[in-house]
Amino acid sequence: MGKTGRKNKVYSAEFKISVIMDMREHHLGYCETARKYELGDPNLGGSVHNLKRWERIYLEEGAEGLMKERRGRTCSDGGTRKGRPPKLDKKVEEDLIAENQRLRMEIEYLKKLSALVLAEERKSGKRRK
């Protein structure tokens, strides 16, 4: 059977923290905790998987980690979010474009200057040091 027609249940960060704290205080297992809080059928594994993930995040990042939005895929390289980067302010974007054009012109100028110096040295027969 596919997942069509089923909605994923969304749990608040406070609920996740209370579940993990209760599980750790009372030394409950994943299946027992899933049954106690009615997180779904523990025999199917989805609720157990969620509990394991919540506990790992809680242990690695603390309670603040459970408050982060974690939907979507991340890049395999650095763990950053895929997709379009956030928009910059118009002023910042215009400044960056102007600086980019200025740097390109500077590079072109230095290339031409280097070519002229090299041509002059070849013409006069001198070597650059």
Instruction: Give the angle subtended at the CA of 59 by the CAs of 54 and 60, to the nearest 5°.
Output: 100
Which residues make beta-bridge pairs with 74?
A: 81
Contact 127, 118 (CB under 8 A): no
Question: Mean pLDDT over residues 56-81, rounded?
Answer: 76
Q: Which pLDDT value is given to residue 98?
A: 97
User: Residue 78 is which amino acid?
Assistant: G
**Residue corresponding to tokens 């939907």:** 71
Helix (H, G, I), strand (E, B) or coil at 71: coil
Say if residue 21's pLDDT is above 70. yes
Neighbouring CB atoms inside 10 A of 74's CB total 11
Question: Mean pLDDT over residues 50-67, rounded?
Answer: 88
Predicted TM-score of the model (pTM): 0.51
> In degrees rounded to 5, what are phi and psi of residue 69?
-80, 125
Contact 10, 71 (CB under 8 A): no
**Residue 101 confidence class, pLDDT cut points 50, 70, 90:** very high
**Residue 63 confidence class, pLDDT cut points 50, 70, 90:** confident
